[in-house]
Amino acid sequence: MKIFFIGGRDIFSVGGIENWMLHLPVALAARGHDITVCCESDEDGVRFYQNVRVLYLKAPKSKYLRKIWASRRATLRALTEGCDLIHYNVWPSAVWSPLAERKGVKTLLMGHGFEWKRSKYNGLQRALLRLCEGWAARRHQHIVLCSQEQTDWYIRHYGCEGKAVTIPSAVDLPEPGVVGADGPFTLLYMGRISPEKNVDLLIRAFARIRVERGVDARLLIAGSMDASGAYGRKIRKLIDSCESVEYVGEVFGEEKEALLRRTRLFCLPSSIEGLSIALLEAAARRIPVLVSDIPSNREALGDNAIWMRPDDLSSLEHAFRFVFPGVSAEDDARVQDMLKRHADRAYERVATRFTWERTVALYDDYIQKIVGK
């Protein structure tokens, strides 16, 4: 089957959509499909990666036009070359799906989260984004969502029962290894650094409880950050004020694996998530996690985590007081034993439900039914 994936930045950059568009097309190509992934870019270009053609399409740098413009060019390219299916990531890319459908090409819309919930938008922008999400949901006949929470929302609010399916985010299971065996008590946040992720609360709570307990602890912050934006400046200032907090930037490959091996506790205090791949990666390495109690995190982990109330500094501090060492040897051992049990059960959940092997099989079966091949 010849498939075009449209909508997203460079698949070799950090991001939820990019992670999908790196792993899923490669796995589909290995199954014999003819795959092209179209990426927004400053220049036209093409490269090949593990039998996947990556097509870079020049588009304006405007945040309002870039995705829509690149998606139009990609759709026209797909129709010119011919294809069986176009996979559109999120609704701005999918505004051109009627053009493809009029030419007899099957289309699929994929949702990666609730963009309109993000705190960077004002009330009017959120309302507009939700209207656009509803339009895309109602007009598309084939919709894939990366969490059951999103699927339930689409069915309940947009009447998508029978046409919206859950194909979850996924990770590769790593080789067994030693996690956080030596060194200081190391905490890790990994992901986009934006207001809804609550990295500022994480730093403030960590700094307070570290001093309160008087233990050797480190907090590592990994991910992309707009240092010129207001929230980026706020995070930089907080990091500079605490010597035990370090910003390590975006990490990939072995550098990321080395970071995860140092980690004793993975922290994700965000108020909204799609289905966090970083969280699944931590659980797949049997790292205990402290996360916000929101539906997508429960979907990922079941009950196997230390939970905090979203957007609540005091709840995060309370959770840190529970997991931080330094109370007594007996209590520290008891907590570590409980964290290990949580981590083992979370690993089993990920190994059963959230591997790329399972996700790719679900996706391949689904598109075979759409296209009829």
Residue 148: which CATH number?
Answer: 3.40.50.2000
* Domain co-membership, 42 together with 57: yes
Average pLDDT, the chain: 92
Angle, alpha carbons 26-32-35 (nearest 5°): 50
pLDDT tops 90 at residue 147: yes
* Domain co-membership, 349 together with 362: no
pLDDT in tens, 157-177: 999 999 999 999 999 998 766
* Domain co-membership, 75 together with 192: no
* Domain co-membership, 314 together with 367: no
Cα separations in angstroms, 77 against 8, 56, 82, 196, 238: 16, 12, 8, 36, 46
C-alpha 298/C-alpha 296 separation (Å) is 5
* Domain co-membership, 156 together with 192: no
Lowest mean pLDDT, pick from 109-118, 140-149, 358-367: 109-118
128 or 283, which is more confident?
283
Burial of 248 (0-12, 13-18, 19+ CB in 10 A): middle
Lowest mean pLDDT, pick from 63-67, 79-83, 309-313: 63-67
CA dihedral 304, 305, 309, 314 (to 10 degrees): 150
* Domain co-membership, 65 together with 128: yes
294 in a structural domain: yes
313 in a structural domain: yes
Q: Residue 148 — very low, low, confident or very high, per pLDDT cuts 50/70/90?
A: very high
252 or 357, which is more confident?
357
C-alpha 191/C-alpha 278 separation (Å) is 7
DSSP state, residue 258: H
C-alpha 261/C-alpha 240 separation (Å) is 25
Output the DSSP codes for 119-181: TTS-HHHHHHHHHHHHHHHHH-S-EEESSHHHHHHHHHHH--TTTEEE----BPPPPP---S-
pLDDT in tens, 307-333: 999 999 999 999 999 999 987 888 889
C-alpha 41/C-alpha 12 separation (Å) is 12
Output the DSSP codes for 191-210: S--SGGG-HHHHHHHHHHHH
C-alpha 144/C-alpha 94 separation (Å) is 13
* Domain co-membership, 163 together with 190: no
What is the structure's pLDDT at 237? 94
CA dihedral 203, 205, 210, 216 (to 10 degrees): -40
- 190 sits in which H/E element: strand 185-190
Residue 23 domain boundaries: 2-170+355-371
Neighbours of 122 (CB within 10 A): 9
What is the structure's pLDDT at 179? 63
Both tokens of 324, joined, read 């931080």
Angle, alpha carbons 161-163-167 (nearest 5°): 105
176 in a structural domain: no
Going by C-alpha positions, the residue among 190, 215, 207 that lies closest to residue 243 is 207
**Phi, then psi, of 90 in degrees rounded to 5:** 60, 160
pLDDT tops 70 at residue 373: no
* Domain co-membership, 202 together with 113: no
76 in a structural domain: yes
180 in a structural domain: no
**Phi, then psi, of 207 in degrees rounded to 5:** -60, -40
175 in a structural domain: no
17 in a structural domain: yes
* Domain co-membership, 340 together with 363: no
Tell me the range of 63-72, 167-176, 288-297 where mean pLDDT is highest.
288-297
Could you tell me what percent of the chain has a pLDDT over 70? 97
What is the structure's pLDDT at 119? 75
Report the helix count and the strand count for the chain, using DSSP H and E: 14, 14
What total of structural domains would you count in the chain? Answer: 2
* Domain co-membership, 98 together with 189: no
* Domain co-membership, 141 together with 153: yes
177 in a structural domain: no
* Domain co-membership, 138 together with 28: yes
What is the structure's pLDDT at 372? 85
- 62 sits in which H/E element: none
Q: Residue 104 — very low, low, confident or very high, per pLDDT cuts 50/70/90?
A: very high
**Secondary-structure percent of the chain, ordered helix, strand, coil, rounded to 5:** 50, 20, 35
